Chain A
Amino acid sequence: MNGNTIEPARSPSDRSPRAAASRSIRTPDASPRRSLSPENSDPTLSQRVRKLESRQPPLVERLIEVTIKVLAYSAVAAMILIFIFIAKEAWPILTSSAIHREVTLAKMWFAQQWPGYDSPEHVWQPVSEIPKYGVWPLVVGTIKVTFIAMLVAVPLAISAAVFVSQYAGRRTREIVKPAIEFLAGIPSVVLGFFALMVMASWFQDLFGFDSRLNALVAGVALSFAVIPVVFTVCEEALGAVPRSYVEASAALGAARWQTITRVVLPAAAPGIAASIALGLGRAFGETMIVLMASGNAAILSATPADSVRTLSATIAAELAEVVFGGPHYTVLFTLAVLLFVVTFGINFMGDQAISRMKRRMGVAQ
């Protein structure tokens, strides 16, 4: 609607774009607000409208908009600052000769011949006469606990997601989904407490472990924190599979289970992969559960019945008692850099899988 026919005659002071707009209907940059022009010739009203039209947003508004744009980068700033400040405290491990007298990256990652030991070994004993910073017991401990947690959580969570999205009726869904959200809402310190006080005793009665707190207890407790993460993302991915896929499969005579296993699950595969990746990131970095339930002995072993110490729990347990800027402090921040980089990598891959899934479903629909 180009209002040049109904607008009152303009004074010669009319600005040229406006004049151009009234000459050509096709001018694309004719302001949409032109349609505000009144259909009467009340001069005061049309003047007021013209003033309205030509105004810039007030200065205050523009300032607020700039503020919004600046604040919008707070998450980016946070990510960068987190990396810089963790890396800054870990940096001396590479450069400081004072710290190299006690520990280097090589000493952390390769077996060392310690006095009193028969052969070179990986030992984590940062608080002893000769501090030993072999990180392999911690890395293996982290992998062990994470693996157990994933082994429990992934089948349970994906099965539950399949049930809720494919078989359950509306009423069942309305019970299960909030329940799993509640499970997600349980603070990890409460899960750690439950593992420490209750589950550990049950597991010991069941299996007769030597150490009450061990990798299995910590791993199973950790899976309770991972299940909601995997379930939520997975359920969403399954729900995003277009109905037309399911209908086409049914029309070809496939039974429900055949549709689920051969159509729905493959279509949702990137989303399911993402759910596993995000769950893995959560398990790998989770602190309080393993700190409370794993026993925290840095033993290099593959047995789930042994007590373990994970990377995150090591930082949480030891940082409070170290000398600021000392070798132990620097090593703990180096472990934090490792945690940060690995979880970033896992989550980044998970994210990529999700956006690929969204693109794919967006095209399919």
Chain B
Amino acid sequence: MKGSSLRPSRWPHIGDVVLWLATGLATLLVLVILAVILIDVVKNGAPRLTLGFLTKAPSDGMTAGGIFPAIFGTVALVILMTIAALPAGVATAIYLHEYARPAALATRIVRIAVNNLAGVPSIVFGLFGLGFFVQFVGGGMDKLFYGGDKVFGQPALIWAALTMAILTLPVVIVATEEALSNVSPDVRLASAALGATKFQTIARVVLPQAVPGIMTGAILAISRGAGEVAPILFTGAAYFLPTLPHALHDQFMQLGYHVYVLATQSPDVDATRPLLYATVLVLLVLTFALNASAILVRSRMRRHLSRSHG
């Protein structure tokens, strides 16, 4: 730097130009990657995307028909998953944020577990689901209630959903905790001053304000659960089923698994390609819609909060 003039130069420093260009190009490249993937999928998937595709079952060895059973299975999976993950996740967040002493050993252990659970490889969840839910819990239920017949002791919708619930638990916990910490301490004090017990304050004052944040967490969890394939490979997903699942112990078809099977195990790649692209498009639209609504809910919540806090 030339130290002769105290007045800042009108021209940006050459180092700034270089750094700005380099980092800007990297950012642009990331955006281009995203755009290329999206354009390819939309361009090749859109022509095949019809109402019939969404409402019919596959036929002719997966080269014709639609993907309704896979959509149905995905929705059933994420609904069951949410029912299992939401209460546990919200309870954990409430405990961490409202009850736990931050420095206590127990609190630190819960936090370490939450953070590391988020990093466990998804295939390990799949193995865990197989070893714990299918064989241990399911097999145990069969021995107890069904005299050893295989009813629950095999890959099934319920086991895949519970495996996925554990995988998405950290998503719900993190989002809920953020929502709780955004609730102003003033309203807690006001509620306590009115004579409310701690739990009344949480249930009637804090939680209602945190609902958008919890919803964000639930939506992000659903988006994650709708797209993961590795955890359900061995816990309940099936390549093709003639009927929709009608009980918790049935197997099911799922969009992501459908993509995987069509892409890797199809005997005639060219015949399945249009269907494959359309399936990917449906999966992408589904996860994008979920993510977009989560971002929307969150930004609306932030705007609302910043307004109410002046």
Q: A residues touching B (Cβ–Cβ < 8 Å)?
A: 32-33, 35-36, 52-53, 57, 61, 64-65, 67-69, 71-76, 78-79, 81-82, 85-86, 88-89, 155-157, 159-160, 162-164, 166-168, 176, 178-183, 185-194, 196-198, 224, 227, 231, 253-258, 260-261, 278, 281-282, 284-288, 291-292, 312, 315-316, 319-320, 324, 332-333, 336, 339-340, 343-344, 346-348, 350-351
Contacts and interface: CB of A to CB of B under 8 A. Distances in A.
Given A315-B123, A348-B116, A257 B13 contact: yes
Nearest to A155: B26
B230 A316 contact: yes
A256 B132 contact: no
Contact of A167 (B23, B34, B290): B23
A182 B23 contact: no
B121 A285 contact: yes
A52 B194 CA distance: 11
Interface string B280-310: 1001100110110001000000000000000
Contacts of A227: 30, 33
A188 B229 contact: yes
Given A67-B91, A253-B3, A292-B264, A79 B123 contact: no
B146 interface: no
Contacts of B1: 253-255, 258
A74 B169 contact: yes
B291 A75 contact: no
Contact of B87 (A33, A57, A71, A182): A71
12 contacts: A78-B169, A86-B124, A163-B24, A167-B23, A182-B288, A185-B287, A187-B227, A253-B1, A256-B16, A258-B1, A339-B121, A339-B123
B92 A74 contact: yes
Given A187-B256, A194-B40, A333-B127, 20 more contacts: A61-B197, A72-B110, A76-B113, A78-B166, A163-B27, A178-B295, A187-B283, A190-B37, A193-B260, A193-B276, A197-B263, A198-B40, A253-B1, A258-B1, A281-B119, A287-B121, A315-B127, A316-B123, A319-B233, A340-B120
B218 to A, nearest CB: 15
B233 A256 contact: no
Contact of A86 (B100, B116, B127, B193): B127
Contacts of A191: 37
A292 B256 CA distance: 12
Contact of B117 (A75, A193, A346): A75
A362 B187 CA distance: 25
A45 B119 CA distance: 57
Contact of B234 (A155, A183, A320): A320
Nearest to A153: B30
Interface in B22-70: 22-27, 29-31, 33-34, 37, 40-41
Interface residues of B, number: 91
Interface of B: 1, 3, 12-13, 15-16, 18-20, 22-27, 29-31, 33-34, 37, 40-41, 87-88, 91-92, 94-96, 99-100, 109-110, 112-128, 130-132, 135-136, 166, 169-170, 173, 192-193, 195, 197-200, 223, 226-230, 233-234, 256-257, 259-260, 263-264, 273, 276, 280, 283-284, 287-288, 290-291, 295
Contact of B197 (A57, A89, A162): A57
B121 A292 contact: no
A319 B122 contact: no
A193 B120 CA distance: 23
Contacts of A89: 127, 131
A193 B131 contact: no
A74 B288 CA distance: 29
A219 B38 CA distance: 20
A191 B288 CA distance: 14
A357 to B, nearest CB: 14
Contacts of A292: 260, 263-264
Contact of A176 (B31, B135, B136, B228): B31
